[in-house]
Structure 1
């Protein structure tokens, strides 16, 4: 039996809708399919996508620390998405 949901899962969108070289939104770290299908997902699926976004952001930040010569955009340094994590 599935548990009743009283509150919808808020969209992780922060209004920074640009895509990086891997196809992830630089604001929320979602893939195109995850962004466009957000409203059709169940709350469990939405929470799973948010977890994936957290992991993607951490990997991206770790990669930037390993490669300090890489230019980091202001969006990545001051990512408003982190308030949701």
Structure 2
């Protein structure tokens, strides 16, 4: 898999912005990607040393439009912890 196919986009929320101080970065990743692929993609794209990767499968929220009910699609979130001596990822600055 190409690293750009593994990492879809950064996940920017108030909590994820606060975790940047602790060298924790949050990304939306491909649902089929495993921790090893995510680690290799972050190291290749951002030239950072990854210490640990945590992943979560997020369920899509139920939504309505008038009388029609549906759901948003399910997605996968990854929290990447960098080593202390690693340089920060510039996309979040």
Range into which the TM-score falls when normalised by the shorter chain: under 0.3
**What TM-score, normalized to structure 1?**
0.23
Larger radius of gyration: 2
Larger helix fraction of residues: 1
